Structure 1
Amino acid sequence: MKPTIILAGLLTLSGCGYSDSRMAHQAQINMVGMTLADLQSCAGVADRSARIDDRTQILTYAVNNDSAGGIEVTLPVIGGGYTVGGSGSRCNANFRIEDNKVASLFYSGNNDRPIGEDGVCAPIIRGCMRRPQASMIPLSDETRALSSAYWQPPAPAPRPQPEGVARMPTVGR
């Protein structure tokens, strides 16, 4: 009876990682096209920003959880051990802004949950996803089908440059 209760508790706690990860990935779809004013009204002022050119800037929002939470269990095996669970503690949400609209959202850092990727990033975008702004892509069955807790959705295609604007060189291509 006790192993069943422990397993049920572990699965319940790890479910939080799933929903946070799914929300973080859903934001990568629904926040594209959002105006800079709407982004700042629901996510706040960015921790850092960098201007790339006249049309493009990067806004970085950071979350740093010194106590990451979750459950970490080390299983003894010959030659050491195997650690299961645990959670990341840091996330940078990097918004690429083009012409004062969100063009893409990428996450970096030690930001995975025991179940799901990028779940530590959820607090950054949670306000925007709970109360969607008018300039966001609406939540729908179609956009929900594109998101998962286990992988990021494909990056949006770059928007065409206006005539006479030089494109920045891409490294490695």
Structure 2
Amino acid sequence: MVVLHLGGCAEYLMIEAQRGSDALIGMSKTEVRMCAGFPTKTVTADGSEIWSYEGGFAGGSGSVSLPEINGISGPQMSRNGAAYCHAQLRFEQDHVVEVAFAGGTDILGARDAACGPIVKGCIDYRSAARQRPDG
């Protein structure tokens, strides 16, 4: 049961990372600061500005086991290491044109799941903007 729950959370975060990546495209610098906060680093190169955001989940060693059923031990899933996301947003003419994720972003095999929390606020922000009468 625990493994299934952890896997479901990782899959949810993976979906949030995908949705967030899509939601960020076209957003202005002001909108990104409103939904994601100030970047941890900025770089200007080749006519573009790149903002970086970082986040992750602490790791550890050990395992998670499913309970014993009818005298048979449940399977174990090891968990070690940490998941880390370095989200990069590239701006041209004040708007996001590209989003890329780097680092050890996978959680339990769910691609880019560690990036979900970084972009989640922008999904909510964009949804709220669309629901406003002027949005």
Which structure 1 segments of 5+ residues have no match? Answer: 1-7, 75-82, 136-173
Which structure 2 segments of 5+ residues have no match? Answer: 66-75, 131-135
Residues 69/39 of structure 1: CA separation in 2 closer, same or farther (3 Å cut): farther
1:106 and 2:97 matched: no
1:25 maps to 18
TM-score relative to the length of structure 2: 0.75
TM-score relative to the length of structure 1: 0.60
Residues 34/71 of structure 1: CA separation in 2 closer, same or farther (3 Å cut): farther
2:85 maps to 91
1:51 and 2:41 matched: no
Is this contact kept in 2: 1:70–1:114, CA < 8 A?
Answer: no
SS, match of residue 131 in structure 1: helix
Overall identity of the aligned pairs, in %: 25
Shift of 1:84: 4.2
Residues 88/37 of structure 1: CA separation in 2 closer, same or farther (3 Å cut): same
> Could you say what the CA RMSD is over the residues aligned between the two structures, in angstroms?
2.6
Higher helix share: 2
Aligned length: 118
Distance in 1 of aligned mates of 2:4 and 2:14: 15
Distance in 2 of aligned mates of 1:121 and 1:32: 16
* Aligned residue identity for 1:56: S
Higher strand share: 2
